[in-house]
Every structure is written in C-alpha cells, then in structure tokens.
Amino acid sequence: MNEWNIQSRSRACQACGKPFAGKQPFHTLLFEEKQQYHRLDICIGCWESQYREGASERKGFISQWHGLFQPPPPAPEEPIQKASAESLLRELLQTNDPQHGPVCYILAVMLERKRVLKVKEQLHRPEGRVFIYEHPPSGDLFTIADPNLRLDQLEEVQRNTAHLLAHGLNPPPAPISNVAAEPTPVAVAADAPPPPETEILGAQPS
C-alpha cells in the first residue's frame, strides 16, 4: 500500500511549524523510505540551518527543489462531480489499487502535455521509473510509476482511460434511501461554498 500517492503542500514549515505566508519561498525535500516517497516542506531558515548541509551529498533526501508558497486555490467553480482527467487521476491514486497504475500513467502524461502537471523528479528504480509530478496550483505531489506499457497494451489502456473519463470510476448507483435522493437546496449551497478540493479529498474514505 502506498499512502504517498498524493501529498499536499504543507501550509506551515514542517520543521519549525511557522505558517507560510503568500509568495514566501520554501523548500520541498523528497525522502524515500521502503520504496515510498514522502515530502517535507520547510522554510528557508530551516533549510539553511538544518538541511542545506546535506544538499551537496543528497544525504537524507533523494531530491529537493524550492518554490514560492501560494495559498490554496479557491474551490473550483465547476461541479466536483464533473469528470476531468485531473479529478479522475486523484480518485484513482487514492484507491491505492495497482490495477489502475497504467491508466494513472496515461492520465499523468495527458495532464503534463496540457501543462496541468509538471515533472519534478524522475527516479530510476530496479522496478522501473517513478515520476514525481507536481500540480502547481495546489502544490500537490503525485507519485506515478511507469508501467512500461508495450505497444500492444497501449490501445487497451487508452480505451480504459477514455471509458473512465466518460463514465467515472464508480458511477453512482440509483439512490435507495430518501436522504440520498433529496436534492441539496440551492440556497444552502450558495451560502456554504465547498471547502478546497484537498479537504474534500481528505475527508473521503480510502
């Protein structure tokens, strides 16, 4: 099980705990533990005083880069249910199901071409390549393994991807209870905008 498929950007330095301000520079360090990758977002002060030493030898961490902190983006205006390559990728990664690996890879490549995702690191492992993608607006990191698709497998994976994009991962079954069938009042929805996407995702059962 890989609990590190999607990792959100921290809103505070994970070394000293000080909240990041808008546009504040920070460093992201990537650590590897038992073939899992996890990130640590730290402020410049902590980088200089505690981590920089290791940078030349890449001691302790396998990759690092710096960026400017951006406050989390406002909730998207489009309905969350609308299947997009990005929401589907997030959903599939959270299932932790290896059978979705090839589709995740195809979606990540699609999103990279659309400049929605950026490759931050490419790791060469005995099992194959692993890509660390960043979603710049949210700062989320996605860990995607290269499934090493053969040409004769590619067509089927592309078909599966198109099917999932059109129909979603788990099409909702017909509502069986009154609660589920009740529509959400429009006034309530307008008064209470949905929380940022990361919080919605965090609240989902894994």
Site residues for Zn ion per CB under 5 A: 13, 15-16, 43, 46
Residue spans of beta strands (DSSP E) within 34-145? 36-43, 63-68, 118-125, 128-135, 140-145
Minimum distance between the CB of residue 15 and Zn ion, rounded to whole angstroms?
5
Q: Give the separation between CA 117 and CA 133, rounded to whole angstroms.
A: 6
Minimum distance between the CB of residue 51 and Zn ion, rounded to whole angstroms?
10
Residue whose CB is less far from Zn ion, 16 or 119? 16
Residue whose CB is less far from Zn ion, 27 or 90? 27
Minimum distance between the CB of residue 40 and Zn ion, rounded to whole angstroms?
10
Is 47:38 a contact under the CB 8 Å cutoff?
no
Q: Give the separation between CA 97 and CA 38, rounded to whole angstroms.
A: 19
The SS3 assignment for 169 reads coil
Residue whose CB is less far from Zn ion, 102 or 139? 139
Residue whose CB is less far from Zn ion, 15 or 104? 15
Minimum distance between the CB of residue 170 and Zn ion, rounded to whole angstroms?
40
Per-residue tokens: 107: 């979606």
